[in-house]
């Protein structure tokens, strides 16, 4: 639950796990050497980059491997499913064995999966490689848990804001990079690039990341039970719901906007990517704002503000497009503010979520990440169906606005948790 103190963030009350005193402090904390922020940024960005950097190459892959487009498309959906599942188990495993071996192991598996994709001469091996690649999702969950290990709750939101910049930027620039590489060198060049980035990530983690979890050695089953305890925390679900729904607004745009831009507006892939960069710019600005303001304002204040901005942006775009003013400006410009709202909500909600039970921060981070990816994937699928069907741009914006309303409603419910606390 949350408690308010004048002039400070509303902070979650620490919930005890079995065998752990309620007053237990965060793990290694100041005793652990803090890794460079760039190391955690790259580790958390690798998985989202790999999610969609290959999307412009799907037609080339299908032709080269003698497969149909729907089968190659499983390379995206299976990757998302595996990513969600891996984040659920990565947290408890890192609470048991430590953050360092689990995140490094995930990156090594990513490298193996990438090489399988490179060597694939049939679609089955390619899909196996994509599933193995998803092990890089350990970087998403554990980079945030590592931040929680080495920073106080007051500083965690600001640091998570910096770390998650890569999470936002990578999937936004991925399709542009992938399209250029595929056009110039063929689809396998995309996976050669991922191989190089994977090697760099492993080297950075090996030399820069020391163990930050000072309470390793706990059995796995009690760690898995932490999910049950987290599931019983209304405060935790407010953080999960707010972050998942707010990010789902962006995922919805990611799923439907390419069809609207290229089929309806006649934009080129390069032109689409330039306009789409507004989302990345907005998210980075929101992250910077979070880093500056998170210690001055309550977590709830930051979440509600970000949710309101996202809702206002989608509502404006919906009103303009429903009024017959569909253009790149009316479709993309409001997404600058959707990105900004995400930049306020995601770091603060994540910091709150992993602070509900600091002694199980890995499990909390994994559950947060899995829910965000799962809800985002569903939003993306629904958006694609609406955008390519009779709904068109208006249907896409109606979906995004509805999700934004739900996200704001969940964020506002934090007040009831505060009062109850």
Residues 166 and 44 sit within 8 Å (Cβ to Cβ): yes
pLDDT above 60 for 168: yes
Q: Residue 59: what are its φ and ψ, rounded to 5°?
A: -65, -40
Query: What is residue 15's predicted lDDT score, i.e. its pLDDT?
Result: 38
- Most trustworthy range by pLDDT among 42-56, 72-86, 218-232: 42-56
What is the mean pLDDT of the segment spanning 156-176? 73
What is the mean pLDDT of the segment spanning 256-281? 78
pLDDT above 60 for 418: no
3-state secondary structure the chain: CEECCCCCCCEECCCCCCCCCCCCCCCCHHHCCCCCHHHHHHHHHHHHHHHHCCHHHHHHHHHHCCCCHHHHHHHHHHHHHHHHHHHHHHHHHHHHHCHHHHHHHHHHHHHHHHHHHHHCCCHHHHHHHHHHHHHHHHHHHHHHHHHHHHCCHHHHHHHHHHHCHHHHHHHHHHHHHHHHHHHHHCCHHHHHHHHHHHHHHHHHHHHHCCCCCCCCCCCHHHHHHHHHHHHCCHHHHHHHHHHHHHHHHHHHHHHHHHHHHHHHCCCCHHHHHHHHHHHHHHHHHHHHHHHHHCCCCCHHHHHHHHHHHHHHHHHHHHHHHHCCCCCHHHHHCCHHHHHHHHHHHHHHHHHHHHHCCHHHHHHHHHHHHHHHHHHHHHHHHHHHHHHHCCCHHHHHHHHHHHHHHHHHHHHHCHHHHHHHC
Query: What is residue 28's predicted lDDT score, i.e. its pLDDT?
Result: 44
Number of domains in the chain: 1
Band (251; pLDDT cuts 50, 70, 90): confident
- Most trustworthy range by pLDDT among 33-42, 101-110, 273-282: 101-110
Query: What is residue 159's predicted lDDT score, i.e. its pLDDT?
Result: 77
Whole-model pTM: value is 0.70
Query: What is residue 69's predicted lDDT score, i.e. its pLDDT?
Result: 66
Q: Does a structural domain hold residue 1?
A: no
Over residues 313-337, the pLDDT tens digits come to 999 999 999 988 999 999 999 999 9
Q: What angle do CA 333, 336, 337 make, to 5 degrees?
A: 110
Query: What is residue 218's predicted lDDT score, i.e. its pLDDT?
Result: 66
- What are the structure tokens assigned to 116, written together? 């399988």
What is the mean pLDDT of the segment spanning 260-265? 81
Q: Does a structural domain hold residue 28?
A: no
Q: Does a structural domain hold residue 174?
A: yes
Over residues 61-94, the pLDDT tens digits come to 888 998 876 677 778 778 888 888 887 888 778 8
What is the share, in percent, of the chain residues with pLDDT greater than 70?
84
pLDDT above 50 for 152: yes
pLDDT above 80 for 9: no
- Most trustworthy range by pLDDT among 6-10, 104-108, 284-288, 379-383: 104-108
Q: Does a structural domain hold residue 23?
A: no
Over residues 275-323, the pLDDT tens digits come to 877 887 888 888 788 877 776 778 788 889 999 999 999 999 999 999 8
Q: Does a structural domain hold residue 379?
A: yes
Q: Does a structural domain hold residue 12?
A: no
More confident residue, 157 or 321: 321
Band (216; pLDDT cuts 50, 70, 90): low
Query: What is residue 297's predicted lDDT score, i.e. its pLDDT?
Result: 77
More confident residue, 57 or 328: 328
Q: Does a structural domain hold residue 24?
A: no
Q: What is the mean pLDDT of the chain?
A: 80
More confident residue, 50 or 80: 50
* Domain housing 320: 33-209+219-420
CATH number, residue 194: 1.20.1250.20
Q: Residue 9: what are its φ and ψ, rounded to 5°?
A: -65, 150
Band (114; pLDDT cuts 50, 70, 90): very high
Q: Which has the minimum average pLDDT: 64-78, 115-129, 197-211? A: 64-78
């Amino acid at each position: 639950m949350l408690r308010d103190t004048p002039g400070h963030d509303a902070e979650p009350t620490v919930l005890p796990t079995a065998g752990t005193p309620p007053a237990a402090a965060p793990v290694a904390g100041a005793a652990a050497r803090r890794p460079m922020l760039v190391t955690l940024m790259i580790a958390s960005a690798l998985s989202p980059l790999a999610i969609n950097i290959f999307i412009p190459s799907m037609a080339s892959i299908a032709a080269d491997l003698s497969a149909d487009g729907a089968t190659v498309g499983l390379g995206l959906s299976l990757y998302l499913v595996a990513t969600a599942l891996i984040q659920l188990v990565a947290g408890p495993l890192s609470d048991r064995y430590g953050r360092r071996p689990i995140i490094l192991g995930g990156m090594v598996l990513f490298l193996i999966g990438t090489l399988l994709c490179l060597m694939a001469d049939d679609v089955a091996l390619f899909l196996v490689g994509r599933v193995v690649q998803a092990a890089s999702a350990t970087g998403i969950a554990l980079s945030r848990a590592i931040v929680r290990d080495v920073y106080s709750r007051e500083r965690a939101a600001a640091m998570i804001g910096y770390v998650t910049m890569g999470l936002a930027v990578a999937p936004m620039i991925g399709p542009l990079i992938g399209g250029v590489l595929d056009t110039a060198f063929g689809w396998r060049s995309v996976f050669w690039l991922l191989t190089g980035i994977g090697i760099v990530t492993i080297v950075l983690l090996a030399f820069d990341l020391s163990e930050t979890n000072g309470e390793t050695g706990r059995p796995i089953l009690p760690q898995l039970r932490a999910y049950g305890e987290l599931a019983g925390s209304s405060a935790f679900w407010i953080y999960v719901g707010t972050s998942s729904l707010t990010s789902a607004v962006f995922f919805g745009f990611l799923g439907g906007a390419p069809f609207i831009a290229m089929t309806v507006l006649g934009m080129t892939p390069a032109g689409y990517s330039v306009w789409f960069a507004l989302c990345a710019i907005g998210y980075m600005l929101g992250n910077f704002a979070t880093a500056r303001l998170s210690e001055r304002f309550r977590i709830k204040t930051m979440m509600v503000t970000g949710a309101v901005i996202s809702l206002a942006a989608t509502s404006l775009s919906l009103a303009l497009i429903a009024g017959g003013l569909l253009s790149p400006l009316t479709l993309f410009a409001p997404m600058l503010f959707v990105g900004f709202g995400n930049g306020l909500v995601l770091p603060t909600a994540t910091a709150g979520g992993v602070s509900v039970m600091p002694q199980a921060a890995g499990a909390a981070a994994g559950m947060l990440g899995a829910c965000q990816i799962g809800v985002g994937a569903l939003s993306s699928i629904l958006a694609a169906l609406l955008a390519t069907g009779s709904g068109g741009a208006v249907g896409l914006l109606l979906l995004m606005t509805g999700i934004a309303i739900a996200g704001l409603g969940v964020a506002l419910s934090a007040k009831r948790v505060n009062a109850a606390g």
